[in-house]
Structure 1
Amino acid sequence: MKTTGNKHIRVEIATATLLPLLAGGQVCAADLRCLDGESKQHLRRLCIQSCAAPLREPVGLAKAPEPVGAV
């Protein structure tokens, strides 16, 4: 199968599928083009969520070890 030029594929993707792809860096929002304003707003929110998630995790705080003999 021979491909020429810059082809585009129109697809729909579930939020639950897109969010981990954004968070993991497999997909960049700049690579996507929203077809309507509502989708664009939703994509913005997903980008913010994916960028903010690591900031919510405590840094350098290890779980305290269980005391010896604790039940």
Structure 2
Amino acid sequence: MTDDLKAASDRADLTAATADEIAEALSYALRYDERGKPRRGGGDLTAGIAAERLTEHLRRSGFVIMKARPARAHSTG
């Protein structure tokens, strides 16, 4: 039963990502590597176009992408 409550709590912390948020995340992933360094080739425009097309395809295919709510700001007390 505890696992069911935790799963419900985890779902409550998720919200549906907007198309702009999805496209921005995809574009970033296409432009930068896992360390945040720019990928070679300078394909910023191409990455943006690809991200928009992927986002639209996901929407048409019925996908709903969820994201975690932002963490509360840390107080320095």
TM-score (norm: length of structure 2): 0.28
Task: Answer 1 or 2: which has greater helix percent.
Answer: 2
**Larger-gyration structure (1/2):** 1
Give the structure, 1 or 2, with the largest relative contact order (CA under 8 Å, sep 6 or more): 2
Task: Answer 1 or 2: which has greater strand percent.
Answer: 2
